[in-house]
């Protein structure tokens, strides 16, 4: 353990911009892509410890207003200077330090995650323990993008059911919904099944969405507008299938409002979407107090982001399987050692300090397309 545990010193921050290619294209109601650009944030305390975070914004603003380029701008020009200007005694402090900057949750999360990892490594405890997690293993599901044909979809589902995943999530959109789910249920009558609409419907589709009730789904995720909680409340009153909110929830305050209105019965917590692990934990705790189930969503992360998801899911109210599949589900090779492995639908929560995985430096360099380094001195020079 470091002798300077009272503060978390920051000697250098490095932004590694990576480009990795998914094993196969991923399609949602937003669109289709296969190459993913993102940042690995590395924070060095100058005492031999490094913490790592990962950005989850996509290259285009289809999931949220943030993109890889806006993340770079906000981190380099605003957030990183703020970190060097303030003393950090605990990772929770980062939320307050970043508060003058509005939204940009994914940029904030990438840096805050690296601080959390660094803190846990300095304390010589697993990140899951630092967050208050108690689970030794977590249940995981799989998210399946829109396939070329229903037959292709059934084949993919069968493969992942055989692999032991605890829940199957299907992406749906108008024209690829009721008939598709019906055929899936006919072939797989008993599997835990949910659908994700990524805001593809409106309240005028309420009678159509009611048809999903016959399929005994775990939930329908974000069927209506990405920034809505009012119409979702109206929908939830009319359908039996639990509504899960995703894109509508950017903070614990959003979660409180949605729960008070009856907009959902389940909330998907994505670390990047809500601004980091501190806010994720606050949402988890509030939902637990109010009987709302939560689960951890995925953003097609590489190993660092995947490791943060695992640590968060060790908290006890994550009772529904999340989207944190194994590394080999998406990547030919990941940037961590060992890679994340799923066995019988479960992932073992690492016991080593921090995120519990080692960064494979050779692969980090292999996939890196740009690198920027920041120190307190370099920021002072740039500000003159």
Q: Give the catalytic positions in this structure.
A: 171, 270
Q: What is the dihedral of CA 27, 29, 32, 35, to 10 degrees?
A: -80
CA angle, 112 then 60 then 99, to 5°: 30
Q: Which residues pair with 268 in a beta bridge?
A: 295
* 265 and 293 Cβ atoms separated by less than 8 Å: yes
C-alpha span between 158 and 235 (Å, rounded): 31
| Kind and range of the H or E run holding 288 | helix 277-289
Q: Kindly give the pairing relationship between strand 12-27 and strand 368-374.
A: antiparallel
* 287 and 267 Cβ atoms separated by less than 8 Å: yes
Give the CB-side neighbour count of residue 103, counting CA atoms within 13 A.
Answer: 8
User: CA torsion sign, 256 to 258 to 262 to 265?
Assistant: negative
Question: Hey, is 202 helix, strand or coil?
Answer: coil
Q: Which residues pair with 370 in a beta bridge?
A: 17
Question: Hey, is 267 helix, strand or coil?
Answer: strand
C-alpha span between 296 and 280 (Å, rounded): 9
CA angle, 266 then 268 then 271, to 5°: 150
């Amino acid at each position: 353990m470091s002798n300077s545990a009272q503060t978390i010193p920051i000697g250098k921050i490095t932004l590694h911009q990576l480009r990795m290619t998914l094993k196969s294209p991923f399609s949602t109601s937003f669109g289709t892509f296969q190459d993913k650009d993102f940042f690995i944030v590395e924070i060095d305390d100058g005492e031999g410890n490094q913490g790592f975070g990962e950005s989850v914004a996509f290259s285009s603003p289809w999931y949220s207003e943030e993109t890889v380029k806006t993340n770079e701008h906000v981190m380099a020009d605003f957030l990183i200077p703020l970190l060097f200007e303030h003393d950090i005694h605990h990772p929770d402090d980062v939320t307050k330090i970043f508060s003058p900057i509005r939204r940009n949750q994914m940029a904030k999360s990438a840096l805050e995650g690296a601080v959390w990892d660094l803190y846990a490594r300095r304390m010589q405890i697993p990140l899951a323990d630092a967050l208050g997690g108690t689970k030794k293993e977590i249940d995981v599901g799989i998210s399946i993008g829109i396939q070329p044909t229903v037959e292709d979809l059934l084949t993919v589902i069968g493969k992942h059911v055989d692999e032991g995943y605890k829940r199957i999530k299907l992406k749906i959109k108008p024209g690829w919904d009721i008939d598709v789910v019906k055929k899936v249920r006919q072939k797989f009558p008993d599997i835990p099944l949910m659908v994700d609409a990524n805001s593809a419907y409106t309240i005028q589709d309420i009678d159509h969405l009611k048809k999903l009730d016959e399929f005994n789904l775990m939930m329908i995720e974000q069927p209506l507008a990405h920034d809505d909680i009012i119409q979702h409340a109206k929908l939830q009153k009319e359908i039996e299938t639990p509504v899960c909110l995703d894109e509508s929830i950017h903070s614990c305050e959003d979660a409180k409002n949605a729960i008070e209105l009856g907009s959902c019965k389940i909330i998907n917590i994505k670390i990047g979407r809500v601004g980091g692990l501190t806010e994720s934990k606050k949402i988890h705790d509030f939902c637990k107090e109010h009987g709302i189930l939560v689960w951890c969503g995925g953003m097609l992360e590489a190993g660092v982001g995947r490791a943060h998801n695992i640590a968060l899911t060790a908290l006890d109210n994550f009772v529904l399987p999340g989207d944190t599949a194994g590394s080999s589900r998406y990547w030919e090779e990941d940037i961590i050692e060992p890679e994340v492995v799923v066995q019988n639908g479960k992932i073992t929560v690492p016991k080593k300090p921090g995120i519990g995985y080692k960064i494979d430096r050779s692969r980090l360099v292999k996939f890196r397309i740009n690198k920027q380094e920041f120190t307190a001195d370099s920021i002072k020079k740039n500000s003159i």
